[in-house]
Copies of this chain bind each other. A is one copy, B any other.
């Protein structure tokens, strides 16, 4: 693991690190914010999964999360959204290939050799973080934006006991029924739709739910509402009787101005679960 940069921030350190990933078979870069308390011992960890076109950097510089995490004494990790590099398959579209990993393990060519973001986020990166930083891996929570909200919800429900709480900003909520999903799931996982179901938060919510609190924020003026399909997730939450808060926020769109506006609420929500 190599340190690319470390900047003092809110009494702690915002670092950027790169490492050779076995899951993705390429170098992967991530951001990690450690609050001041990490100097004295392990601290809880909140994952932030980013959306389409993002790298590790977008949320790290634009979401305004570090100040709230510092106040709560918790760490933040900002993974990249896909494998990257010259030898890694890509597509001209912004929503497939590099920058659009969709948090799945691809089984189809040309994606299968590198696009294993599920394993990267579920297994490899947690092990690397635990080994190298003062993190209490018994206290984890997860959030994300758009494609990252999809990843946060599907990972949290698939790994019971791993995350104490899950939240999402404008998640891709029903990818098996959306052009943000059908295209990518068929490219990465093939045409057999039974393989897709584990990667649709609304279907998994209806089927299994999450053993802990859930917080969803969705902008009512989001320009991508037709692709995100929040109604499918709201319906599944209600049908499941899932412990959850689902907020439709008047006037907000899909941008980081929306994300940062509600970041305090999300970090506080997770801190309440992490310090319980």
Contact = CB atoms under 8 A, between A and B. Distances in A.
Interface of A: 7-11, 14, 61-62, 64, 66-67, 219, 221, 249, 251-253, 255-258, 260-261, 264
Secondary structure type dominating chain A contacts? mixed
A220 to B, nearest CB: 9
Contacts of A261: 8-11, 66-67
- Give the number of copies in the complex: 2
Nearest to A64: B64
Contacts of A258: 7-9
B67 A7 contact: no
Given A67-B264, A264-B67, A256 B8 contact: no
Nearest to A33: B257
Contacts of A219: 8
23 contacts: A7-B253, A7-B255, A7-B257, A7-B258, A8-B221, A8-B249, A8-B251, A8-B253, A8-B257, A8-B261, A9-B257, A9-B258, A9-B260, A10-B260, A11-B261, A14-B257, A61-B61, A61-B62, A61-B256, A64-B260, A66-B260, A67-B260, A67-B261
**Residue picked from A8, A11, A249, A264, most chain B C-beta under 10 Å:** A8
